[in-house]
Amino acid sequence: MTYCRRHLLGLSVYRSGKEKEIARVKDVVLDLKSARAIGVALESDHLWQSMKYLPWENIVSVAPKELSFYQEKPLKNLGKRREKQLAGLWIGQRLFSPNGADWGTVADLVLEENWQLAGVYVSQGLWQDMVRGWQFLHWVDIQPILPVNKR
């Protein structure tokens, strides 16, 4: 099973065994060095409250409309470093091959069931998308050309 980033956005987040929604998924947090998703960022209910972060190891299940987790500790603050790792920052970015050919614009990221990055969907413009749909590029093919954030 694979997950697209766009399908995870907006999922209701529940503590395992509880019925009250505590948040919604705002984005996926990536670690490009290990080529995997390391958690999800949660929407904040309050304007001045920082975004919270839920690591994947605490997630119990992902269903079509909800995500549940087991956690004894409070949710962590996302922090400035992880804000720079949000998958949403890749959406809309142009991708070029090593020889400079334009591959298109990143439309979505695809995750495997173990949260490894499988690849990206690339849009090549409205007309091309209508004729051929989004093009899938495997992560191993594009990883060498991506600038890895060393901060």
Q: What does the H/E/C string look like for 101-126? A: CEEEEEEEEEEECCCEEEEEEEECCH
Class of residue 135 by CB neighbours under 10 A (exposed 0-12, middle 13-18, buried 19+):
middle
22 pLDDT band, cuts 50/70/90, is confident
Q: Name which of 78, 93, 72, 69 is nearest 147 in CA terms.
A: 93
Q: What is the pLDDT of residues 26-36, one digit of tens each?
A: 999 998 888 89
Q: Which pTM was predicted?
A: 0.80
145 pLDDT band, cuts 50/70/90, is low
- Whole-angstrom Cα distance, residue 28 to residue 42? 9
- Whole-angstrom Cα distance, residue 78 to residue 86? 10
Q: What's the pLDDT at 74?
A: 60
- Whole-angstrom Cα distance, residue 109 to residue 121? 6
φ/ψ (deg, to 5) at 9: -65, 135
Residues 147, 80, 8, 59: is their CA dihedral positive or negative? positive
Among residues of the chain, what percentage have pLDDT more than 90? 20
Residue with tokens 């091309």: 128
Q: Name which of 61, 83, 66, 87 is nearest 23 in CA terms.
A: 66
Q: What's the pLDDT at 46?
A: 63
Name 28's bridge partners: 40
Q: What is the pLDDT of residues 44-85, one digit of tens each?
A: 666 566 788 888 888 888 888 887 887 666 677 787 778 888
Q: What's the pLDDT at 81?
A: 77
53: amino acid identity, one letter: Y
